[in-house]
A and B are shown apart, each in its own frame.
Chain A
Amino acid sequence: MEEPNKKEEASPDATPEEGLSAPIPSEENRIAPLPPDRRWRFRHPLFVRLGHWLNVLCLPILLMSGFQIFNAHPALYWGERSDRDRPLLAMKAVRTENGEMRGVTTLFGHAFDTTGLFGASRNEAGALYRRGFPEWMTLPAHQWLSMGRRWHFFFAWIFVLNGVIFAFFSLARRHLWLDLLPKKEDLRRIGAAILDHLRFRHPAGEEAAHYNVLQKIAYTSVVFVLAPLIVLTGLTMSPDIDAAFPGLLTLSGGRQSARTIHFIAAFAFIGYTVVHLLMVAITGLRNNLRSMVTGWYLLPKSGAEDEETN
């Protein structure tokens, strides 16, 4: 697996504007020699890479400590109150007639047996006990609400500060405008892009130097819609923030609605991450990982696969 010899020879023919970023730090501005069948692009500026890996750290911690917090009252409601006879979703443990414990999840009034996963799952000794999400999904593993809150709020601050810094650089360095926001011509090609994705045909050559329209839509909506939504609904669960900004309660439809939306948004993050990881893997795991670590991306050759892309 040869690595680009990027530090030694500078080649003047690839300009930063061709890549995905605006200005590039001077050392990295040196461009690798271009073998006839390969082209390197400096794809991800430092703030994108740092922000990305901080999110990789924060999101699993936020998710799993969030499940820990949820487990203290594993039910969701709509409105301001939690009327326990009318949950949208609830994870319960019930005893059958022969005294056996079962986990039951109700969703809009329909009950599902989710023994071992939701409602009742096994502890280290292998015994079923009452529990919303199982131990392997929560941080810490056993029921410990106060520690779950500590993890959650600490990393919520990191996540929010990271997001604010990312938003600032995205605007200041026109990353949002140049790379993220879909342009008119992108949107015109959206049908073709969806079909290509479904056929596992991914952009190659120069086309792969930029985010495609589906990437643009996904990244923009995650960064500028989903992330703010999850932060705002999180804040709406704060009685102090509600007093200062009662509009938040009105926006979400109530404190319990905010909790429900927060939970759904967390699952939207999971869904996004699954698709994102899948795309990363099938469009060239090594190449993608390297570009997210070093910034350097090897443009996939059109019509051919090489070992760099699988």
Chain B
Amino acid sequence: MKKRISLGRRNFLVRAAQLSGLLFLAGCENLSRKPWFEGFLSSAEGVTRRVQRAITPRRAMAREYTEADLSADFPVNGSTNPDTEEYVALAANQFADWQLEVSGLVEQPTDFSLAELRQFPSRTQITRHDCVEGWSAIGKWKGVPLSLILEKVRPKADARYVVFHAADPDESGNYYYESIDFEDAYHPQTILAYDLNDRPLPIGNGAPLRLRVERQLGYKMAKYIMQIELVDRLDPIAGGKGGYWEDQGYEWYAGI
């Protein structure tokens, strides 16, 4: 029996498929620019955070590795040198004049010098850093557990977030900052690191002090920390989303 393949129909189908593909893409592209749609897509973040928090034990530890697993070079990413007058002066003096100001909703606001931070009991951990871009690196971090600092300054009852203010501004003069909640702040692997691979933290990696929150992506781990502020809400700070990258559209919850 003769096959009745109509070229016209076939062409029509191919064109229709191409057209619907184009419309689909244009539609997606268009939707990406609509704030309400971004809000709609972002609803997944809350679901992800709640579900991950529900199935992750509070004290679940990120995997720790051995010296043999260390990356040959720990990549330097994001801002690599805060070129401000203040920072350059501090770095010139090996950060001897640097002070970490811990303030906000705390009973006892305190300034810590680098030497004082090094006198606290320290924690050393060899962990994997997962960048939001997709690469991973393994480094050996030594620092003071954030929980020890918090015990010292005694958070007030209404404090909910720990905000890290950094020394590096972008071209528009917005300073880098980040925030975590208390669940992450009191996690044993959350440390204020001053050493990387047994040496003082290099400037490229955030000297003199950077945050390590091992169960989140790299952009949460603020470098060049100058001030820690305890707050009850994030919306009055900078762009209001709880961090420099969050203000640019990244998720506040960076557990995935």
Categorize the interface residue count of chain B: 35 or more
Any B CB within 8 A of the CB of A69:
yes
Q: Which residues of B contact A156 (CB under 8 A)?
A: 44
Chain B, 19-78, CB within 8 A of any chain A CB:
24-25, 28-29, 32, 38, 40-45, 47-48, 52, 55-57, 60-63, 65, 69, 71-72, 75
Instruction: Given A150-B41, A246-B63, A304-B1, answer yes or no on A81-B24 (Cβ-Cβ < 8 Å).
Output: no
B211 to chain A, nearest CB (A): 14
Instruction: Given A144-B32, A147-B249, A240-B215, answer yes or no on A73-B135 (Cβ-Cβ < 8 Å).
Output: yes
Any A CB within 8 A of the CB of B4:
yes
Whether A150 pairs with B38 at a CB distance below 8 angstroms is yes
B1 to chain A, nearest CB (A): 5
Instruction: Given A244-B56, A244-B57, answer yes or no on A239-B62 (Cβ-Cβ < 8 Å).
Output: yes
Instruction: Given A61-B28, A154-B44, answer yes or no on A239-B255 (Cβ-Cβ < 8 Å).
Output: yes
Q: Which residues of A contact B24 (CB under 8 A)?
A: 60
Any A CB within 8 A of the CB of B3:
yes
Interface of A, helix, strand, loop or mixed by DSSP: helix
Q: How long is the Cα–Cα vector from A249 to B64 in the complex, in angstroms? A: 12
Whether B38 pairs with A72 at a CB distance below 8 angstroms is no
Instruction: Given A140-B28, A150-B42, A238-B255, answer yes or no on A145-B133 (Cβ-Cβ < 8 Å).
Output: yes
Any A CB within 8 A of the CB of B130:
yes
Q: How long is the Cα–Cα vector from A82 to B131 in the complex, in angstroms? A: 11
Q: How long is the Cα–Cα vector from A259 to B135 in the complex, in angstroms? A: 9
Instruction: Given A243-B215, A310-B5, answer yes or no on A140-B29 (Cβ-Cβ < 8 Å).
Output: yes
* CB closest chain-B residue, reference A161: B47
Any A CB within 8 A of the CB of B248:
yes
Q: Which residues of A contact B13 (CB under 8 A)?
A: 285
Interface flags for A237-262 (1: CB within 8 Å of B; 0: not) read 11111111010010000011001000
- With beta carbons under 8 angstroms apart, the residue of B71, B133, B217 that contacts A83 is B71
Instruction: Given A237-B130, A242-B63, A305-B3, answer yes or no on A146-B136 (Cβ-Cβ < 8 Å).
Output: no
Q: Which residues of B contact A307 (CB under 8 A)?
A: 4
Q: Which residues of A contact B216 (CB under 8 A)?
A: 239-240
Any B CB within 8 A of the CB of A129:
no
Any A CB within 8 A of the CB of B138:
yes
Instruction: Given A140-B32, A146-B248, A244-B60, answer yes or no on A237-B256 (Cβ-Cβ < 8 Å).
Output: yes
A70 to chain B, nearest CB (A): 7
Whether B69 pairs with A80 at a CB distance below 8 angstroms is yes
Q: Which residues of A contact B69 (CB under 8 A)?
A: 80-81
Chain A, 78-92, CB within 8 A of any chain B CB:
80-84
Whether A150 pairs with B28 at a CB distance below 8 angstroms is no
B164 to chain A, nearest CB (A): 18
Q: Which residues of A contact B43 (CB under 8 A)?
A: 154
Instruction: Given A70-B134, A153-B44, A237-B256, answer yes or no on A141-B217 (Cβ-Cβ < 8 Å).
Output: no
Interface flags for B212-251 (1: CB within 8 Å of A; 0: not) read 0011110000000000000000000000000001001111
* CB closest chain-A residue, reference B246: A146
Q: Which residues of B contact A310 (CB under 8 A)?
A: 3-5
Counting chain B CB atoms within 10 Å of each CB, which of A72, A136, A238, A310 scores highest? A238
Q: Which residues of B contact A305 (CB under 8 A)?
A: 1, 3
Any B CB within 8 A of the CB of A117:
no
Chain B, 97-136, CB within 8 A of any chain A CB:
128, 130-136
Q: How long is the Cα–Cα vector from A70 to B133 in the complex, in angstroms? A: 8
B234 to chain A, nearest CB (A): 18
Any A CB within 8 A of the CB of B137:
yes
Any B CB within 8 A of the CB of A52:
no
Q: Which residues of B contact A304 (CB under 8 A)?
A: 1
Any B CB within 8 A of the CB of A211:
no
* CB closest chain-B residue, reference A234: B256
A76 to chain B, nearest CB (A): 9
Whether B61 pairs with A243 at a CB distance below 8 angstroms is yes
Q: Which residues of A contact B41 (CB under 8 A)?
A: 150-151, 153-154
Whether A83 pairs with B62 at a CB distance below 8 angstroms is no
